A and B are shown apart, each in its own frame.
Chain A
Amino acid sequence: DGGITQSPKYLFRKEGQNVTLSCEQNLNHDAMYWYRQDPGQGLRLIYYSQIVNDFQKGDIAEGYSVSREKKESFPLTVTSAQKNPTAFYLCASRGEDMNTEAFFGQGTRLTVV
């Protein structure tokens, strides 16, 4: 079945460490997105990519980095520069047609210990 897969489901990070969250899709979608979800704040856009080898900063990109070397993959690195990284991270993808929905992965819950 087509879909979008995030891994791991739960991730623990020590202070000062970088961690990378995986996002893979087999929907043949060009556009991929990373969101952060905190209680009471909804989803906030971190980075997005419309095509391979191109990506743009979203509203809260500081302390994060991404790459888009393959159409199927859009990993997110949470760097030590991100001061408050504990959150639920969601990856999404979307086709070109404006009438297509954004499909979300099941999320990664990152906790700093």
Chain B
Amino acid sequence: QKEVEQDPGPLSVPEGAIVSLNCTYSNSAFQYFMWYRQYSRKGPELLMYTYSSGNKEDGRFTAQVDKSSKYISLFIRDSQPSDSATYLCAMSAGVIQGAQKLVFGQGTRLTINP
């Protein structure tokens, strides 16, 4: 079983829809949770960063972390064609033995149709 599971999609929704992207994980030591957006043939860029449980909102994006269920979500409101990309969740347990490692999900490919 992978440490982080993410549905690879593809996911296709109409413009203006609310999008829900999710990841589950098995390592209870994870405390730092991130969502990255990756456009085709580009490097990932950080979208949202959350420490421990709770919600975080930034414009049209909301990240939720439920550590009791080992489940994180990213919601996109009023989705736009420019949101079409691959979304990667990533997690970290912090610094262990002097190193901090991110573990990534498989990425979900999202298409917003005009």
Residues of A in contact with B (beta carbons under 8 Å apart): 6, 31, 33, 35, 40-45, 48, 50, 56, 58, 88, 90, 92, 94, 98-99, 101-102, 104-107, 109
Contact = CB atoms under 8 A, between A and B. Distances in A.
A50 B32 contact: no
Nearest to A31: B100
> Which of the four size classes fits the interface of chain B?
20 to 34
Interface stretch (B43-51, B57-65, B70-78): B43-51
Mostly helix, strand, loop or mixed at chain B's interface?
Answer: strand
A109 B104 CA distance: 19
Listed from nearest, the 9 A-B pairs whose CB atoms lie closest are A104-B43, A43-B104, A101-B46, A42-B106, A42-B104, A106-B43, A104-B44, A42-B107, A107-B43
Given A40-B106, A42-B107, A109-B41, A48 B49 contact: no
